[in-house]
Structure 1
Amino acid sequence: MAQGCIEVERKFVPGPGTEEKLKELGGTLEHQVTFRDTYYDTSELSLMRSDHWLRQRESSGWELKCPGASGVSGPHTEYMELTSESAIVARLSELLGTEGLGAAGVAAVLGPLGLQEVASFVTNRSTWKLVLSGTDEQEPTLRVDLDTADFGYAVGEVEVLAHKEAEVPAALAKILTISSMLGVPAQEKAPAKLIMYLQRYRPQDYQRLLDGYSSEGP
């Protein structure tokens, strides 16, 4: 994924007819993949409590999701995605108040930054591509991922990648349109896989995250 892309997405609970609806809307199944995600944070969840999410995806490398700037409320999220290891290390150093890390890769700075594994799970994903009728062919294609984690949780995600902040409102409008066509309730907010993992297997961390959100806001 390109450095600095803005990921605008909305998670939803898929139903038994979701794939049929995607086909009816002209969606095409692009691929099906299986991968393992491992998330890292401090013992106090300093990154997650500031709405930053550090992940290493099997065969894909490191990614740090940073909160977007739009501030538009609704059942969606907006993140800037960093995939360059030098950019990730620089942001982590800034967030955690550590200097002098140099040009080391992410794996090399986990220890000095006090970062440890907090979750690891496997996901089976079906990725669908959609183009809304009547839209400019050069506009971003919508992507719908249907995920099932190895701990039994299923979640869908409608996503558009924007290259600059000015494109976010249009991306959000497309996401809400597709969500409506898929029958997703207007204000439905489905938890991310990581949140469900913490709730089930690390309840103390889950509560710490909730406490951080209630006192500081995500």
Structure 2
Amino acid sequence: MAQGLIEVERKFIPGPGIEERLQELGGILEHRITFRDTYYDTPELSLMRSNHWLRQREGSGWELKCPGASGISGPHTEYKEFTSEPAVVAQLCEVLGAKGLGDGSMAAVLGPLGLQEVASFVTKRSSWKLVFPGVNEEEPMLKVDLDTADFGYAVGEVEALVQKEAEVPTALKKINSLSSMLGVPAQERAPGKLIVYLQHFRPQDYRRLLEVNSSTED
């Protein structure tokens, strides 16, 4: 993924028959995979408390999600994603107010930035892609991920990736339309896997996030 793409997404609780419904809507199963995500933050949760989310995905590398800027309210989230290691390091140094570390690798900056593991879990995922009839081929297709974490939580996500903030409203309209066709209640706000993990296994950290009304990212 090119660095700096904007991810617009909406999480939902999958109901029975969700994969059959995706097939009815023309969804194509891309793959089924299993992977481990490990999340990092400072002891004070400086990243999560400012709506930044750092993870290392098994087989994929590092990813940092930073809050988007569209200002559109609703049961969705918008993030700018960074996946190249130099970009992740640079963004982390900016967010955490560290100077002189911008040219280092992630392995080199974890200690100096005070970053430590806060969660690690395995997810089984089925990934689907959908294209609405009549959509311009240049427009981003929608992606639906259906996840089940190894601690028992299942969550779905409808996602579109765009390059400019001006494209967010159109992407969001498509996401909400597909969510409706999947039977997702209009204002449903499903928490991400990481939030549920913290709630179950690190309740003190979970309460700290609630204090700042943090986003429900995974």
1:1-218 map, 5 Å: 1-213=1-213
Between the aligned partners of 1:165 and 1:100, the Cα distance in structure 2 is 30
Between the aligned partners of 1:138 and 1:18, the Cα distance in structure 2 is 27
Q: Is the 8 A contact 2:28 2:128 kept in 1?
A: yes
Between the aligned partners of 1:45 and 1:102, the Cα distance in structure 2 is 21
Q: Deviations over 1:97-155 (max 9, x none)?
A: 21111411112101101110000000000001101112112211100000000000000
Q: Is the 8 A contact 2:40 2:54 kept in 1?
A: yes
Aligned residue pairs total: 215
- 1:101 is aligned with what amino acid? L
- 1:210 is aligned with what amino acid? L
Give the root-mean-square deviation of aligned CA atoms: 1.2
Calculate the TM-score normalised by the size of structure 1. 0.96
Instruction: Percent identity, please.
Output: 76
Between the aligned partners of 1:71 and 1:99, the Cα distance in structure 2 is 30
CA shift, 1:212, in A, is 2.3
50-59 or 94-103: bigger deviation = 94-103
Structure 2: tracts of 5 or more residues without a match: none
Between the aligned partners of 1:81 and 1:137, the Cα distance in structure 2 is 23
Between the aligned partners of 2:116 and 2:82, the Cα distance in structure 1 is 19
Q: Which segments of structure 1 move beyond 2 Å, counting only runs of 4 or more?
A: none
CA shift, 1:213, in A, is 2.3
Calculate the TM-score normalised by the size of structure 2. 0.96
**Which secondary structure state, in structure 1, belongs to the residue aligned with residue 107 of structure 2?**
helix
Structure 1: tracts of 5 or more residues without a match: none
Between the aligned partners of 1:94 and 1:86, the Cα distance in structure 2 is 12
Between the aligned partners of 1:129 and 1:96, the Cα distance in structure 2 is 36
90-99 or 140-149: bigger deviation = 90-99
Q: Is the 8 A contact 2:86 2:102 kept in 1?
A: no
